[in-house]
Structure 1
Amino acid sequence: METFHLIPGLPDELGLDCITRLPYTTHRLVSSVCRRWRQLISSSHFYYHRRNSGATRLLSCFVQTLPPTYSTTGWKLCTSLAYGLTLFDPLTQSWDRIPPIPHYPDGLPLFCHIASTEGKLVLMGGWDPETYDPIVDVFVYDFSRCGWRKGKDMPSNRSFFAVGASDGRIYVAGGHDESKNALKSAWVYDLRSDEWTELPQMSQGRDECEGLMAGGEFWVISGYDTERQGMFDASAEVYDLDSGEWRVVDQAWETGRCPRACVGMDKEGRLTNWSEWEAAFQVGTCGVVIGSQTVVTGSEYQGAAQNFYAMMEREEGENSKMTKINVPEEYSGYVQSGCCVEV
């Protein structure tokens, strides 16, 4: 029987290495070469092979306001804010926009959450941009195919929850339900099986909490219970991915401070607040860790222009090196949240 190699005339090991070195921007075109290439490029095995070979690229993905749309006469067509997904490549300093979700062509669900794993971007929850009703939709963007697919809905409505991603799974915890009750429940979404599994509950409800992955742990930071609306707690709860158990970390965060999008972690495992690093982003701060650096956005004061900085990892005894990023006008809008994407 004739053997079909990945690349005719080459052993499959060499063929795999050649395909591995192709930039992710070519994957959609390469997938159309043949069925075997399409199956290879869409597999998690290929993603991890590329990552282990150092062939993946780290990008920032932002939920960002879109530029206003104008008619031919110069009148603004839309007065309400619409959000889209922006990609920033720190290596090439290039900017791009992810195509809109077909179900929401005019803008993302408001206050939606994003996370990324295995070269895919997962968007979930938020409010319908037209009705403001909370939704349970889950959408998955595949960078190798440059397209969206519908994932299995979230088990229940929840807004302003914590989210984290690791090894093909998306973890969610806390937030509030349709009646504004703070939630202590947690779930995990398996990207490969498209299934949700309930996790043990946290010790308390945590509305408007923030999620952070650190090693093999999912941190759910601050938030507040139903009876303490807006009174942000100083504690965090940490879910160990191996043991499947939660632990409480007291005094992990500043009491009364909203943690949304501005939480980081230093080399010693202490939580940090990105807004404290530079006067340029005191309001609406959002930090996205990309390898050894962090892209931080925010404004000096309410209503001021949005600033974008790259913060290099600190060496012991040295201050962080801050570099202002030049941003094209169409990508200078307010950033609501973000995550790192490895593709």
Structure 2
Amino acid sequence: MVPPLSSDEFGVQTLTLIPGLPNDVGALILAFVPYCHHARLKVTCKSWRRFFSSKALISLRQNYVVAPKLLCIFPQDPSISPPYLFDPKNMWWCPLPLMPCNPHVYGLTNFISVAVGPHLYVLGGSLFDTRSFPLDRPSPSSSVFRFDFAALSWESVSPMITPRGSFACAAVPERGKILVAGGGSRHTMFGAAGSRMSSVEMYDIGNDEWVALDGLPRFRAGCVGFYIGREFWVMGGYGESRTVLGVFPVDEYYRDTVVMEVMNGGKWRELGDMWEEGERRRLGKIVVAEGEIFMLDRGEIFRYDKRSNRWAKETCVPKKVSDDASVGFVGLEEELYLLTLLNASASASESTRLRQHKRSSTLLMQIYNPGQSRWRSVVVKPPFHQSLDFRTTVMCPIRL
């Protein structure tokens, strides 16, 4: 028997969601179901299939549900390898569709992914273009793609004014903006090569347009960006390169920070060096959690002090690895996640036990809560068909 139709608060005719309850109440109840269960609940009945595939669900969750953040992981070029959603609370993985493929370009890396509301953005990057010469020279990309979780599809939006990869980027959700700064064309296959730039742009999501802002004080690529306290921060990076013995290219890394007051005319101010000469060679991996800035550096986590413009040691990683490049570092809610392939971090005494696992099938997550100064760890088996390389893997938190 077909359930009676009723008109809900979204102004559309829909099947009854929960018998005996108004549809607006039923919709709100179902909206509290964690995102990881939605696909399985779609097959329950026709009305649930329609509801769990609607934009109304996303709107309800964004407005009424404080859902935990999920982690979107891009193992490599998203046009050839699908990104995955991971729910750390429910230990759930879900593949996303491939990004639209351009037959003329390949090897996309150094792109940035940010989330604004129910949308996931992939911006820029470095790639190889078969239409350029020479073919082995990387080119920056200006493309911007957006994934809509309501429609479960990718779409191309207005490209950046200036092509760039390996740049600073931050979302300003309350204003519907995305900021990008610096970058260049260097590809991960080539060290200390490619262009650098200082240009800064802001994307207006509502109008689908990019606007140029005041540029950085100097060329800067390989930098990290984040939005905190109504300011756009850009840390570290590299400028011009030099050569050793006239042959080997070496980057000149910056030790300083620059800050843009987004709400006050977009002017930059320089904060100076964050560490002394010889203290460290370059900036480590950066994460922002609960308004605080943390850095992973040589198996230790540091907290940034805004007043002194210095880094203070916070804690040591319980299970260290030989190279920070083989560790993923990301913030989810108030916790810091360190992701390591067990095969890559195993000691000789563990090698026999780890042979029982398939290659790259075991992922160690070391989780630190700065508020409680407490560590915990979780071991999961990711669904990737290739080994994760955290030097190129892109990760992005999103709340759905």
Q: Normalising to structure 1: TM-score of the pair?
A: 0.76
**Secondary structure in structure 2 of the residue aligned to 1:250:** strand
* Alpha-carbon spacing, 1:303–1:155, altered in 2? closer, same or farther (3 Å): farther
The offset of 1:313, in angstroms, is 0.9
Q: Does 1:116 align with 2:115?
A: yes
**2 CA distance for matches of 1:92 and 1:302?**
25
Structure 1 CA distance for aligned equivalents of residues 84 and 289 of structure 2: 26
Aligned to 1:232: 253
SS state at 1:231 partner? strand
Write out per-residue CA displacement over residues 276-323 of structure 1, whole angstroms, 9 at most, x where no aligned residue.
Answer: 23313633332111112222224699898875323131246x4x4041
Higher Cα Rg: structure 1 or 2? 2
The one of 267, 271, 284 equivalent to 1:249 is: 271
- Residues 341 and 283 (structure 1 numbering): CA distance in 2 closer, same or farther, change over 3 Å? same
Match of 1:221 in 2: 235
Q: How many residues end up aligned between the 2 structures? A: 316
Instruction: Give how far 1:119 is off.
Output: 1.8
Q: 1:325 aligns with which of 379, 383, 391?
A: 379
Gaps of 5+ in 2: 1-5, 131-137, 187-192, 243-249, 301-316, 347-358
Is the aligned partner of 1:141 residue 2:147?
yes
Looking at structure 2, the residues matched to 204 and 302 of structure 1 have their Cα atoms a distance apart, in angstroms, of 37
RMSD: 3.8
CA offset at residue 49 of structure 1?
0.5
Question: How far apart are residue 205 of structure 1 and its match?
Answer: 1.5
CA distance in 2, matches of 1:89, 1:39: 21
Q: What amino acid is the match of 1:294?
A: L
Change (3 A) 1:208 1:129: same
How big is each residue's C-alpha offset from its partner over 1:95-121, in whole Å with a ceiling of 9 and x where there is no partner? 222211132599872222211110211
User: 1:186 offset after TM fit, Å?
Assistant: 1.1
Name the aligned partner's letter for residue 102 of structure 1. Answer: P
Give the residue type in structure 1 aligned to 2:165.
S
Given that residues 115 and 171 in structure 2 are in contact (C-alpha distance below 8 angstroms), is that contact kept between their aligned partners in structure 1?
Answer: yes
Aligned AA (1:110): T
Q: Secondary structure at the match of 2:384?
A: helix
Cα distance change, pair 199–88 in 1 and its aligned pair in 2 (3 A): same
Counterpart secondary structure, 1:101: coil
- Equivalent residue of 1:330, what SS? coil
**Offset, 1:274:** 5.5
What SS does structure 1 have at the residue aligned with 2:147?
A: strand
**2:289, 2:150 → 1: CA distance?**
32
Equivalent residue runs for 1:100-179 within 5 Å: 100-103=98-101, 109-128=108-127, 131=130, 132-167=138-173, 168-176=176-184
Structure-2 residue corresponding to 1:203: 217
Find the counterpart in structure 2 of residue 272 from structure 1: 295
- Contact 1:180–1:226 (8 Å) recurs in 2: no
Cα shift readout 1:258-287 (whole Å, capped 9, x = no counterpart)? 54xx21247784542265233136333321
Match of 1:290 in 2: 332
Asked whether 1:4 is paired with 2:18, we answer no
Q: Which amino acid aligns with 2:377?
A: T
Q: State whether residues 120 and 140 of structure 1, in contact with CA within 8 Å, keep that contact through their aligned partners in structure 2.
A: yes
Q: Residue 88 of structure 1: which of 83, 86, 89 is its match?
A: 86
* Deviates most, 268-277 or 110-119: 268-277
Mean CA deviation greater in 225-234 or 197-206:
225-234
Distance in 2 (CA, whole Å) between partners of 1:24 and 1:241 is: 33
Identity across the alignment (%): 22
Offset, 1:252: 3.0
**Offset at residue 210 of structure 1 (A):** 1.2
Supply the distance in 2 between the matched residues of 1:181 and 1:129 (Cα, whole angstroms).
14
Q: Which has the higher contact order (CA 8 A, sep 6+)?
A: 1
- Contact 1:266–1:272 (8 Å) recurs in 2: no
Shift of 1:176: 1.8
Deviation at 1:89, TM superposition (A): 0.9
Cα 1:301–1:327 change in 2 (3 A) is closer
Q: Is 2:255–2:283's contact at 8 Å kept on the other side of the alignment?
A: no
Give the distance between the partners of 1:107 and 1:59, measured in 2 at CA: 28
> What is the aligned partner in structure 1 of residue 134 from structure 2?
none
Structure 2 Cα separation of the partners of residues 14 and 274 of structure 1: 49
Deviations 1:201-233 (A, max 9, x none): 221221111122334332211012235661211
Per the normalisation by structure 2, the TM-score is: 0.66
* Bigger strand fraction: 2
1:283 partner SS: helix
What amino acid does structure 1 have at the position aligned with 2:395? G
Give how far 1:198 is off: 1.7
Three-state SS of the structure 2 residue aligned to 1:321 is strand
